[in-house]
Chain A
Amino acid sequence: MSLALVLEQLLNGVQFGLMLFLMSAGLTLVFGVMGLINLAHGSLYMIGAFLCAAIAAATGNFFIGLMAGIAAAAAAGALIEILVIRRLYARDHLDQVLATFALILILSEGVRMIFGPFPLYLTVPSVLRGTVNLGIVDYSLYRLALIGFGIAVALGLWALIAKTRLGIRIRAGESDREMIAALGVNIRVLYTVVFALGAALAGLAGALVGAIQSVQVGMGEPVLILAFVVIVIGGIGSIKGAMVGALLVGVIDTMGRFLLPRLFATIFDASAAAGTGAALASMLIYLLMALVLIFRPKGLFPAHG
């Protein structure tokens, strides 16, 4: 096990974590401001990827596709908020879980009816192909760009929330809903905007990741569950928590897959070690989440005191 390999795996973990952050940020924002559990967040990720693939194929330009994917996810988010989600803010979590579960069924089947049952083609834009030399390891340029993208979006989001008028309203909405209504803020519009923003972030993640993964129906659900793990670990409603949780999950998952089979190889033969290691690695992040909740029942960075 060389230093180069460990470094490469760490980078992989960070990159995976930053993509999870894009997903989790929207989810945690929506929960923090509106108190809503949105299981359909993964469907918005899927919509971003599908639209990016379709438009990139039609125009031959990945970046136009990327813009289209973000726009489509944001538009779908706004539409869903106005038609359905708006009626759920006053409901309990149970109703929210069920209604957004229903939205998953509708959106998945709807996407399949429009785009057909086969996975779509989407690939890395030519300027981001190939590898770069990072001293001791050659690393995929696209993955490196994803890391950069993730950091840029995180900074942008921080600036948006800390420095802009919209951010002030979002923060006010997180701490006291009645007060911002009293201040004359149109709360309905604010909620629609926040939901669309979260949807756009999911669509962005879907489109970016779609270039190196399979763009197919159902692609949103595994990443949705991971995003929930992230925000629960980080503390629901906290953007900072989402960042820390995402990096923890990304790095621990990647390093678990990398190290556990090696650990077991010292005890069992190669095939058995590979199997047992993989089995445990797949449970690792859920174990992490359970442990965090047992010792910190509101996550690492509780949003409300």
Chain B
Amino acid sequence: MNALRMTALAALAVGSVGMAKADQVTVGMITTLSGGGAGLGVDVRDGFQLALDMAGEHDIRLVVEDDAQRPELAVQIAERMIQSERADILTGIIWSNLAMAVVPSAVAQDIFYLSPNAGPSALAGANCHPNYFNVAWQNDMLHEAAGQHANELGYENTFIMAPNYPAGTDALTGFKRYYEGELAGELFTQVGQTDYAAEIAEIRASGADSIFIFLPGGMGISFMRQFEQSGVDLPIISAGFSFDQDVLPAIGEAALGVINTSQWSPDLDNELNGEFVAAFQDAYDRLPSLYASQGFDTANLILSAMEQADVSDMDAFREALRAADFTSVRGSFEFAPNQHPIQTVYVREVVEVDGVLTNRIIGTAFEEHRDVHGENCNM
């Protein structure tokens, strides 16, 4: 690397600051674009970009950068976006632990943060903040819906399992909050675990009538493939994260028939969602995931607020965000006082349509559901 080129790059990075127009909104997107978790970040980014493209003329300058799923790198990028790019709004983070690293200090510096994924309980409760909006869900929400629906399915002896980290314990707590039956067993697996033989043997021996799992990303893929080969034949219920479009093609037939809960589904019947799914397939040649829909909604929320207020007037812009006066692909959308969504959570089933695995809505777990942590939020 010669010195000249480095200097040129530095000039480029610094020079881009000057280009912002007065009424332009700079959105800094910090998301995971490399490594094993890249699929989620790519979908959030593509969904967000699609909303901007569909809006046509707009005044958003989008700066995207890869956090490589590393908290310290995410913090560094956030500082750069705030201090060098002069970002007005940050968004994009996929993982709860990265959100916990970035969000508290960003919002304290008078920056808006809109979460397109990840809703740790601390940010919904005691550490809620007027500049923090969650456009996806609070972490517990979909698990609570799974617990609720397990009752309706008549499950009485469920085996529950999640990785041993805060989002995992939140998942089990969320499930148990609504589930009324007995627990056949409760197990924490290692984060990033790839072999589930020991756990499957436990499930087999437990006499359970059903299984609830929260195993996002590669962990879910590994579990489902091994479960299929184990000969254990029990129904699985889960939150939508483990069974969405990013992993379904990789899990394959083993996922067919799995019941999962989500605030969105590709077949959700509203006009905008139909357009979104078609446009996404057109633009990127694959079905959108839950994460893509959340990125899409986040962009539309920002666009709607920009129509009502100038971002330099933070109070007015905050009010405009809080009003959530935009059309969501999930139908109705409204913020609770802690600025997390109040929304319907659907029950979906994994099905095969024209040779592609996807989800179909089969019922509703909650109408106008809100998280429990809001009680601890004094805002």
- Chain A interfacial positions (CB closer than 8 Å to B): 1-2, 4-5, 8-9, 12, 15-16, 108-109, 112, 117-121, 123-124, 129-131, 138, 140-143, 209, 211-219, 222-223, 254, 257-258, 261, 270-271, 274-275, 277-279, 281-282
Asked if B198 contacts A119 (CB within 8 A), the reply is: no
Most chain B beta-carbon contacts within 10 A, residue among A4, A5, A257: A257
Q: Of B39, B164, B190, which is within 8 A of A117 by CB?
A: B39
A274→B183 CA distance, assembly (Å): 13
Q: Of A5, A141, A142, A274, which is within 8 A of B201 by CB?
A: A5
Q: How far is the CB of A123 from chain B (nearest CB, A)?
A: 5
Q: How far is the CB of A226 from chain B (nearest CB, A)?
A: 10
* Given A214-B218, A222-B194, 12 extra CB contacts under 8 A: A5-B204, A8-B201, A9-B197, A15-B197, A117-B39, A119-B218, A123-B253, A214-B194, A214-B225, A218-B35, A258-B202, A271-B169
Asked if A216 contacts B246 (CB within 8 A), the reply is: no
Q: A212-B225, A217-B36 are in contact. Are A4 and B231 (CB under 8 A)?
A: no
A143→B230 CA distance, assembly (Å): 9
Q: Of A8, A118, A254, which is within 8 A of B250 by CB?
A: A118
Determine the main DSSP class of B at the interface with A: helix
Asked if A112 contacts B225 (CB within 8 A), the reply is: no
Asked if A212 contacts B229 (CB within 8 A), the reply is: yes
Tell me if B34 is interfacial: C-beta within 8 Å of chain A.
yes
- Please give, as numbers and ranges, the residues of chain A lying within 8 Å of B33 by CB-CB distance: 117
Could you jot down 28 A-B contacts, CB within 8 Å? Answer: A1-B205, A4-B205, A5-B201, A5-B204, A5-B205, A9-B201, A112-B35, A117-B39, A119-B36, A119-B250, A123-B252, A123-B253, A124-B225, A124-B228, A129-B229, A131-B231, A140-B229, A143-B229, A212-B225, A213-B218, A213-B221, A214-B221, A219-B36, A254-B197, A257-B198, A271-B186, A274-B187, A282-B190
Closest to B289 in A: A118
Closest to A223 in B: B194
A124→B201 CA distance, assembly (Å): 19
Tell me if B62 is interfacial: C-beta within 8 Å of chain A.
no
Tell me if B247 is interfacial: C-beta within 8 Å of chain A.
yes
Asked if B217 contacts A214 (CB within 8 A), the reply is: yes
Q: A117-B33, A254-B197, A271-B186 are in contact. Are A216 and B249 (CB under 8 A)?
A: no
Closest to A12 in B: B197
Tell me if B219 is interfacial: C-beta within 8 Å of chain A.
yes
Closest to B206 in A: A5
Q: A2-B205, A12-B201, A141-B229 are in contact. Are A215 and B195 (CB under 8 A)?
A: no
What size tier do the contact residues of chain B reach? Answer: 35 or more
- Please give, as numbers and ranges, the residues of chain B lying within 8 Å of A222 by CB-CB distance: 192, 194
Q: How far is the CB of B291 from chain A (nearest CB, A)?
A: 12
Fill in one digit per residue for B324-360: 1 if any A CB lies within 8 Å of its CB, else 0.
Answer: 0000000000000000000000000000000000000
- Please give, as numbers and ranges, the residues of chain A lying within 8 Å of B36 by CB-CB distance: 119, 216-219
Asked if A140 contacts B230 (CB within 8 A), the reply is: yes
Q: Of B186, B222, B246, B249, which is within 8 A of A212 by CB?
A: B222
A215→B249 CA distance, assembly (Å): 12
Asked if B246 contacts A121 (CB within 8 A), the reply is: no
- Please give, as numbers and ranges, the residues of chain A lying within 8 Å of B194 by CB-CB distance: 209, 213-214, 219, 222-223
Q: How far is the CB of A229 from chain B (nearest CB, A)?
A: 15
